Amino acid sequence: MTSTKKLVSYIFPIYNESGNIELLYKTIIKLLNTNNDYTYELIFINDGSKDDSLSKLREITNNDKRSTIIDFARNYGHQIAVTAGLDYSNGDAVIIMDSDMQDPPAVSFNLIKKWEEGYEVVYAQRRSRKDTFFKKFTADMFYRTLQKLSDIDIPRNTGDFRLIDRVVVEEIKKFKEHDRFLRGMISFIGFKQIAVQFDRDERHAGKTGYPLKKMIKFAADGITGFSNAPLKLIRQVGLFIAALSFLGALYALVVKVAFPAYAVEGWAFIVMSVLFTGGIQLIMLSVLGSYIGRIYTEVKDRPLYGVRSIYEQN
Ligand code: UDP
Ligand code: MG
C-alpha cells in the first residue's frame, strides 16, 4: 500500500550550518515519524559551505534512503540553492525551509494540512519574529517599497518558508531568470494561495548567511525583477530637474534684462547646478546600468549552478 501514499519533499539550503544540521535532522526525523500518512524525501543543498557542513550532512544522512545531498561547486546563493532543490525534488508537495531552525519544522505539518484542503501554495507568515531591530526594519522597508513599486502582490512578513504543489513546482521550473526572487515568482504565478501564521524563532547556531551586501542584492533583484518603476523614476526626476533649470534660466534672464545692476555674477550658482545635475545623471545612469547588467546576465544565459556531486543512498 505504501506506493499510494503521497510524497512530500523537504528542501534545505545549507550554507555554513554546521552547528544546526544535527538538531535540524533529528527534529525533522522525529516529526516525520509521527505521521505515516505520507512518504518523505529530504533534499539538502550544500551551497558551497566553508565549514564542515558537507561531512556533517554525509555522516548524519548515511543509510537514510530518504535523504539526498546536492553538493554545489561553490556558493551560488540561497535562491539558487532552493531552485536546485525544486529541480531535484519528486514530491507531490514540496516544502522549502531554512536550515537554521528559524522556521520551526513542526509548522510544516500545518502547511500540509492546508494543502490537503486544496491550496496549491501555502506560505508560512510570521506572526512574530526574533531578529535584530536592523533586520526587522530593513525587511519592513523592503516589503513596503516592493508593494508600492511592483505589479505583483507579495504577502508581507513571509520568507521562502512555504509548501508548493507539484503543479506549481513544474511551472516555477519554467522560470529561467538568473537573478532570482523566488517568492516574487511564486506570487506572480497565481494558483490558490493561502497563509498559515507562525512564530519565527531565533537562529539556533552560527551566523546569518545574509550579510548586508547579499541583502541589498536580494532587494534589488526583487524590485528590478518585478517592477520597472525605477526606470519611470528617472523620467520623473529628469522632468523635475528640467523644470527647475528652466525656472533658473528664466530667473537669470529676467534679472539680466530688467535689473542689470543685480545681475548674477555667481559662478557659485553655476558650479552648484552643474554638480547637482551631474550627480543626478550619475544616479540615473546607475539605475539604467543595473537593468542593463541584468539584461546582460540573462542574455549570457549561463547555467544557474554547477553540481560537484550528488549523494543518495540507493
Ligand atoms: N543560505 C544559502 N546560501 C547562502 C546564504 C544562506 O543556502 O548564500 C541558506 C542558509 O543556510 C539558511 C537559509 O539560506 O538555510 C537562510 O539564510 P540565513 O538564515 O543565513 O538568512 P536570515 O535568516 O539571516 O535572513
Ligand atoms: Mg536565518
Distance 224 CA to ligand 2 centre (A): 24
- For cell 556533517, the residue is 56
Report which of 147, 146, 142, 191 is spatially closest to residue 166, judged by C-alpha positions.
191
Q: From the CB of residue 166, how many other CB atoms can be counted at a distance below 10 Å?
A: 17
pLDDT at 50: 96
Rounded Cα distance, 71 and 81, in Å = 10
Q: What is the mean pLDDT of residues 168-187?
A: 89
- Using the 8-state DSSP alphabet, how is residue 285 labeled? H
Mean pLDDT of 53-82: 93
Q: pLDDT tens digits, residue range 115-167?
A: 999 999 999 998 887 778 888 888 888 888 888 888 778 888 888 999 999 99
Q: Quick one: average pLDDT of 38-47? A: 96
Query: What pLDDT is stored for residue 147 in this prediction?
Result: 80
Measured in whole angstroms, the distance separating CA 231 from the mean position of its chain's CA atoms is: 21
261 pLDDT higher than 80: no
pLDDT of residue 99: 95
Element (H, E) at 166: helix 166-172
Q: Stretch 215-223: mean pLDDT, rounded?
A: 82
Q: Which CATH number fits domain 7-227+302-312: 3.20.20.10, 1.10.10.10, 3.30.110.70, 3.90.550.10?
A: 3.90.550.10
pLDDT at 47 over 80: yes
**74-87: average pLDDT:** 95
Does ligand 1 have an atom closer than 6 angstroms to the CB of 17? Answer: yes
pLDDT of residue 2: 52
pLDDT at 61 over 80: yes
Hey, whose CA ends up nearest to atom 16 of ligand 1? 98
Instruction: Give 62 Cα–ligand 1 centroid separation in angstroms.
Output: 24
Residue 96 pLDDT exceeds 90: yes
As a whole number, mean pLDDT of residues 171-190 equals 88
Q: Which three cell numbers stand for residue 307?
A: 553540481
Tell me how far apart the 2 most distant CA atoms of the chain are, in Å: 99
Residue of 12, 21, 47 to mutate, ligand 1, most atoms within 8 A of C-beta: 47
φ, ψ at 276 (rounded to 5°): -65, -50
209 within ligand 1 shell (Cβ under 6 A):
yes
User: pTM for this one?
Assistant: 0.79
Supply the mean pLDDT for the chain: 86
The region of weakest confidence among 9-18, 150-159, 195-204, 261-270 is: 261-270
| Spatial separation of the C-alpha atoms in residues 189 and 154, rounded to whole Å | 11
Whether the pLDDT of residue 266 is over 80: the answer is no
Cβ proximity of 165 and 117 under 8 Å: no
222 close to ligand 1 (CB < 6 Angstrom)? no
Q: How far is the CA of 280 from the centre of ligand 2 (A)?
A: 37
**pLDDT for the residue 264:** 61
Q: What is the pLDDT of residue 20?
A: 93
Question: Which residue in the block uniquely carries the three cell numbers 502547511?
Answer: 111
Which has more confidence, 159 or 293? 159
Atom of ligand 1 nearest to the CA of 208: 20
Rounded Cα–Cα distance for residues 128 and 20 (Å) = 22
pLDDT of residue 104: 93
44 lines ligand 1 (CB under 6 A): no
Sheet of strand 6-14, all strands in order from the earlier edge strand to the far edge: 193-200, 121-129, 158-165, 93-96, 6-14, 38-46, 67-72, 307-312
Cell of 115: 494543502
The grid coordinates of residue 13 equal 539550503
SS3 198: strand
- 199: its cell numbers: 512564530
Pick the residue with more confidence: 134 or 6? 6
Q: How would you write 3-34 as a 3-class SS string?
A: HHCEEEEEEEEECCCHHHHHHHHHHHHHHHCC
Which ligand is located closest to the Cα atom of residue 12?
1
Residue nearest to atom 1 of ligand 1 (CA): 78
pLDDT exceeds cutoff 60 at 272: yes
Q: What is the position in ligand 1's atom list of the atom closest to the CA of 15?
A: 11
Q: Which of 99-103, 116-120, 188-192, 298-302 is predicted with the least confidence, judged by mean pLDDT?
A: 298-302
Locate the domains of the chain by residue range: 7-227+302-312, 229-300
Residue 32 vs residue 222, higher pLDDT? 32
**pLDDT at residue 52 greater than cutoff 80:** yes
Mean pLDDT computed over 235-247: 78
pLDDT at 226 over 90: no
